[in-house]
Structure 1
Amino acid sequence: MNRPAEARSRKQIWILIGAFFAPLALAFLLYYGLDIRPHGSTNHGDLIHPPVTLPEVALPSIADQTFAADALRGKWSIVYIGDGACDERCREALTLMRQTRLALGDDMSRVQRVFLVSGNCCDQAYLDAEHSGLLLGRIDNPAGQTLLEPFPDTTQASTLGRIYLVDPLGNLMMKYEPGAPQKGLLTDLKKLLKLSHIG
């Protein structure tokens, strides 16, 4: 019996097995053992995880416009919270919201813009001239505070200059800080509208 040839044959088999399984074992170790995973995401806003369902509350009317209890249901809502005097950040945010909706083209009817006003309501001449169709709701009242409660950083929400995204079921799901890329809101919304069968 040729034992050296048999040993050589076994050795070659183990080399082949090792060559096949070594990369798999290394990948498994890196991915799970050392937790070297891609942590980036494709969205530009910050996900609110888990999404928070907003309460259904009617808000006091502004300029003969009603804010019904189900105002944040049925459509995707881009929401800004801030003072009604509308400072520079407020104007930037409302303009971004308007331009983002217009850029959606045929899908723009699935999206509404909402300004939740925390006080000093309102620079109506500016809003009428620049933001026709903007849904307004006052939150400087008990009903408004109930609506505001689920938002992140509730007590500061009206001063942070954030834009929020609410899905057609009334779930608060994303927030955009003032420094977020301006095209990020549009990119995220296009993706959500493409994938969504609601609203």
Structure 2
Amino acid sequence: MTTSATDANRTARGRLVLIALFLLFFGSAFGAGLLRFSGWMPAGLKNNGELLNPPVDLRQSSLQLASGEAYAWQPETRIWRILAVPSSAGCATGACDELLAQLDKVWRLFGHNADQVHVLWLGEAPAAAAQLPEVRVLQEDASLREALPRSADPAGAPVYVVDPNGFVILRYPPNADPAGLRTDVARLLKLK
């Protein structure tokens, strides 16, 4: 084989390697951009609840516990809240007892982080709520109900996640899987 043929083979092989590297780099960047702009997200980054955009600001709401005491937001304590908003008609069927049991289970599954979560119940709560230390029953507040998106859901009681500052950020429809609520709040508890 002659020197010019060897040089031509080397040049062709070098070009092929350069083209392969170019395709590998820009092809993966193009693929990532295509996935990003098509709206695809990895399952680990998706939330189960409906993200409220913009979030509902409850900081100026003066919530009252059923006992008459004021419920303060206290953002410095980094307490997340799960807010159940049942309608009085929806509780007649026993759905509220089931929802309360599910929220209690979710709260207990937080383990050592359970102290960083309050379960708030708007309006009259089932009798079992008195035995659950994490449940804070709020007095009925029409302005709070109006501020929450689709709180008067005819299908049942929606559940909301409220951040430590008093912003409602997630909504779960009635009869939503409590495992999704637990997953989302557990992920939020890791935020510092």
Aligned positions of 1:57-136 closer than 5 A: 57-59=61-63, 62=66, 64-68=67-71, 70-71=72-73, 73=75, 74=77, 75-84=79-88, 86-87=91-92, 88-117=94-123, 122=124, 125-128=127-130, 131=132, 134-136=135-137
Deviations 1:93-152 (A, max 9, x none): 2211112212222222211111112xxxx3664543x54552222345xxx41x334422
Distance 1:11 1:124, change over 3 A: closer
CA offsets, 1:165-194, max 9 Å, x none? Answer: 11111121222223433222223222222x
Aligned residue for 2:9? 8
Structure 2: state its 5+ residue gaps: none
Q: Which residue is equivalent to 1:168?
A: 164
State the AA in 2 paired with 1:48.
L
Partner of 1:151: 148
Structure 1: unaligned runs, 5 residues or longer = none
Deviation at 1:36, TM superposition (A): 5.8
Tell me by how many angstroms 1:17 deviates.
Answer: 0.6
Superposition deviation, residue 20 in structure 1:
1.7
Distance 1:149 1:181, change over 3 A: same
Q: TM-score, normalised by structure 1?
A: 0.73
Structure 2 CA distance for partners of 1:57 and 1:113, relative to 1, 3 Å:
same
SS of the aligned residue for 1:148 comes to helix
Q: Kindly indicate whether the alpha-carbon contact (under 8 Å) linking 1:81 and 1:157 is maintained by their aligned counterparts in 2.
A: no
**Number of residue equivalences:** 184
The amino acid of 2:172's aligned partner reads Y
Deviation at 1:82, TM superposition (A): 1.4
Amino acid at match of 2:135: L
Instruction: Write the distance in 2 (CA, Å) between the matches of 1:2 and 1:58.
Output: 88
Report the alpha carbon displacement of residue 90 of structure 1 after superposing the two structures with TM.
Answer: 2.1
- Decide whether the 8 Å contact of 2:65 with 2:136 is kept in 1: no
Q: 1:178 to 1:58 in 2, by over 3 A?
A: same
1:24-61 CA distances to partner (integer Å, 9 max, x unpaired)?
23222322247467424433323224433223222455
Q: Which residue of 1 is the match for residue 29 of structure 2?
A: 28
Query: TM-score, normalised on structure 2?
Result: 0.75
Deviation at 1:158, TM superposition (A): 7.8
SS class of match (2:85): strand
The whole-number CA distance in structure 2 between the counterparts of 1:61 and 1:10 is 79
Question: How big is the alpha-carbon RMSD for the aligned residues of Structure 1 and Structure 2?
Answer: 3.1
Q: Deviations over 1:58-104 (max 9, x none)?
A: 24553x34243x25854211100012462433222221111221222
Task: Give the corresponding residue for 1:196.
Answer: 191
Q: Is the 8 A contact 1:61 1:138 kept in 2?
A: yes
Residue identity matched to 2:16: I
Find the aligned partners of 2:62 and 2:120 in 1 and give their Cα distance. Answer: 14
